[in-house]
Structure 1
Amino acid sequence: MKLPLHERIRSEIETAILSGTLRPGARLPTEHELMQRYDCSRMTVNKALSALAVAGLVDRNKRAGSSVAQPKVHSMVLDIPDLEQEVVRRGQRYRFQLSGREVKQPDPDYPEELQLAGNSDLLRLEGVHFADDRPLACERRLISLAAVPDIAAQMFDKISPGAWLLEHVPWTEAETRIAAVAADRTIAARLELPIGSACLSIERRTWRGADGITLVHQHFVGTAYDLVARFGPAKGSTGAEPQQL
Structure 2
Amino acid sequence: MDVSGTRAADENTGPVEGIKATARRLLVELGAAGLSLEAVAEDGGLAVSALEAVFPHRDDLLTALIIDAYDESADAMEQADQAARAAGAPAGARLLAVTRALRAWSFANTGEFTLIYGSPVPGYHAPQDTVPSASRTPAVLAGIVRSALEAGELTPPRRAVPGPPLLRPEAVELFGGTPEAPFSDVIERGMVLWSSLIGLLVFQVFSRTHDSVRDESAYFDFALAVAAEGIGLVVPAGEGTDTGPH
Structure number with the higher strand fraction is 1
In the superposition, the TM-score normalised over structure 2's length comes to 0.30
In the superposition, the TM-score normalised over structure 1's length comes to 0.30
Structure number with the higher helix fraction is 2
